[in-house]
Structure 1
Amino acid sequence: MPRVIVTRPAREAAHWVGLLAARGIPAVALPLIDIGPCTDTAAQQALAQAHARLAQYRALMFVSGNAVVHFFEQKPASALDPLAPTAIKMRAWAPGPATARALEQAGVPLGHIDGPAPDAPQFDSEALWQQVAGQIRPGDRVLIVRGRSGGVHDTAQGSGRDWLARQIEAAGGLVDFVVAYQRGAPRLAPAEVALAQQAAQDGSVWLLSSSEAVAHLSEALPGQHWGAARALATHPRIAEAARAAGFGTVGECRPALEDVVASIESAA
């Protein structure tokens, strides 16, 4: 069984390493995106204003589990009141199961969370919209809670949320954005660089779940040849990024655990 290199941010990477280990798949975390709160005053004020206006929104859309964590991180439990069962109108939108799980952990009732169907070909904004399009009426307002990149690699995630905003507006809705967290490139320690160099040529499978992570990897190892490296990408856009970075073998699968495990086992 090949070793899997999990490249998600640290919190999610640790979770996935545990899930894969429980299925008998050796895995190691090599986070390629750093996640943290936004520290500038303007972003903090905008986030506070969004919390104060929650009751105005027909739905809150969270681009990731990190968006959920940082949106509710430093608020009292009362911040979730608009999402309580008595608030019939309010919905929480999640593009995939990990975000839905984070919403549940934050205290949002399961019956108020909408996301792609379990058998959707992908977990992304397009699949989410298929489930929630009927909720929007002219004048409804949606808040999209997102992260902000510290660099220039924000296009893949941005294209999904911008596409969703256009669909909402085409249906007569109104869209606001708020930044809840900051994404950035990690500073790889020497041991992590050595791990990446070895995994580029020893048959390891790189589990890639972000085009931004692929870019960070290329920047961290600028002279590395990836022609012998194997990648498993959880979205077609990520697969394109991996091929452009030079990965010799790039597979694609849905980001659900069962699909990832099946793909890894078939590559063994």
Structure 2
Amino acid sequence: MNTKTIVITRPVGQARHLIELLGAALSKHVTPQSPQILSLPLLTIIPKTDDQLSNQVFSAMQDADLAIFVSPNAIECTLRLIECAWQDLAQQIVPIGVMGGSSALALRHHGIGSEETPTPILIPEQNAQWDSEGLWQELQSLAWDWSSKKVVIFKGEGGRDWLAETLEAAGATVEAISVYSRIPLAIDNPAWLPIHEMKFDESLWIFTSSEAVRYLGNVIEDQFRQSLSDANALCPHDNIADAARAAGFSKVMMSEPGDEALIRASIAWLAS
């Protein structure tokens, strides 16, 4: 198979969205060849649905000063849990912090931030800072006395705890609520079959999750790891890039965060 291949490693729903955006962008650009685009959902997002967790969310938000969603998945799973409008969750309007454009878009899809009295949305101004560190810089502009503030963080099981630890070190009371779990892609799943048939040195793997890359590094066999050393990895964050190198990728490309930046970098790779 001589066609260049782009491997999308996001969960199915997010992968489909990125594939559609990439296909639309490719139709507007002249590239030496049309790539094969494969979906390899290394992790599947499973929302939590139990009533006890729903009650925990309602209870935590009653005296919250700030809510933080670590990802679009956290937004979707939390709103599914509460089954009410965001501003009906607490007696006062609780501002929301997010780390990137995809999360901001997810909020807009649910009408959050465009209410009659809009919910304040805090997001790093520059997409090059769409991460935990960037959001923390944005939060510092509030000039809050964190010792008097409670922050509720909605996240998945596991994941990075840097922001929670930073907020606690600043004096804030932090309650982290896991609203979804991640299920790894089984090694006998048919989604792996086209991966083994492609030319690895003509492949670009798009990663947007350190945990997904680490899972890949843990399950691959030695022969597959050698193939990965010939492949290209595209990562929007240093932590993800470090995980890709640890998994076996020797050619790691960086892009700014956000789908548009990933697509631009993918098209540049196709044209190279």
TM-score normalised over the length of structure 2: 0.83
Q: Is the 8 A contact 2:60 2:175 kept in 1?
A: no
Aligned to 1:93: 97
Displacement of 1:244 in angstroms is 1.4
Relative distance call for 1:79 and 1:263 in structure 2 (3 A) is closer
Summarize the alignment of residues 10-21 of structure 1 with structure 2, pairs less than 5 Å apart. Answer: 10-21=12-23
Counterpart of 1:30, as a letter, is L
Q: Map Cα deviations across residues 64-84 of structure 1 (whole Å, 9 max, x no partner).
A: 11111111114332554247x
Cα separation, partners in 2 of 1:37 and 1:120, compared to 1, 3 Å:
closer
State whether structure 2 residue 147 is matched by structure 1 residue 143: no
How far apart are the structure 1 equivalents of 2:181 and 2:23?
A: 29
1:81 maps to amino acid? D
Q: How does 1:166-205 map to 2 (within 5 A)?
A: 166-188=165-187, 190-199=189-198, 201-205=200-204
Structure-1 separation of matches of 2:127 and 2:233 = 22
| Unaligned segments of structure 2, at least 5 residues | 27-33
> CA contact under 8 A between 1:51 and 1:79: conserved in structure 2?
no
Percent of aligned positions that are identical: 31
Q: Is the 8 A contact 1:33 1:184 kept in 2?
A: yes
* Structure 1: runs of 5 or more not aligned: 149-153
The residue number in structure 1 matching 2:56 is 49
Counterpart residue type for residue 58 of structure 2: H
Match of 2:207 in 1: 208
Write out per-residue CA displacement over residues 207-251 of structure 1, whole angstroms, 9 at most, x where no aligned residue: 011121112223443231212111101111111111111113111
TM-aligned CA distance change 1:96 to 1:78, over 3 Å: closer
**1:4-83 matched pairs, under 5 angstroms:** 4-24=6-26, 26=35, 27-38=37-48, 45-78=52-85, 80-82=87-89
Residues 7 and 205 in structure 2, CA contact (< 8 A), matched pair in contact too: yes
Alignment of 1:94-109 (within 5 A): 94-109=98-113
Matches within 5 A, 1:241-260: 241-260=243-262
Query: Aligned partner of 1:45: which letter?
Result: Q
3-state SS in 2 of match to 1:4: strand
Q: Does 1:116 align with 2:120?
A: no
SS of equivalent to 1:107 = coil
The separation in 2 between residues aligned to 1:147 and 1:200, in whole angstroms, is: 34
- Distance in 1, matches of 2:259 and 2:266, equals 11
Q: Return 198-207 or 54-63, whichever deviates more.
A: 198-207
| Alpha carbons of structure 1 residues 165 and 54: separation in structure 2 relative to 1, 3 Å | same
1:173–1:74 distance in 2 versus 1, CA, 3 Å:
closer
- Cα distance change of structure 1 residues 242 and 212 upon mapping to structure 2, 3 Å threshold: same
TM-score, length basis structure 1? 0.84
- The CA distance in 1 between the partners of 2:230 and 2:260, in whole Å, is 26
Q: CA deviation at 1:202?
A: 5.0
Q: 1:53 to 1:247 in 2, by over 3 A?
A: closer
Distance (whole Å) between structure 1 residues aligned to residue 170 and residue 249 of structure 2: 40
CA deviations on 1:113-143 (whole Å, 9 max, x unpaired) are 11111x2423111001111223332311000
Name the SS of the counterpart of 1:66 in structure 2.
Answer: helix
The equivalent of 2:164 in structure 1 is 165
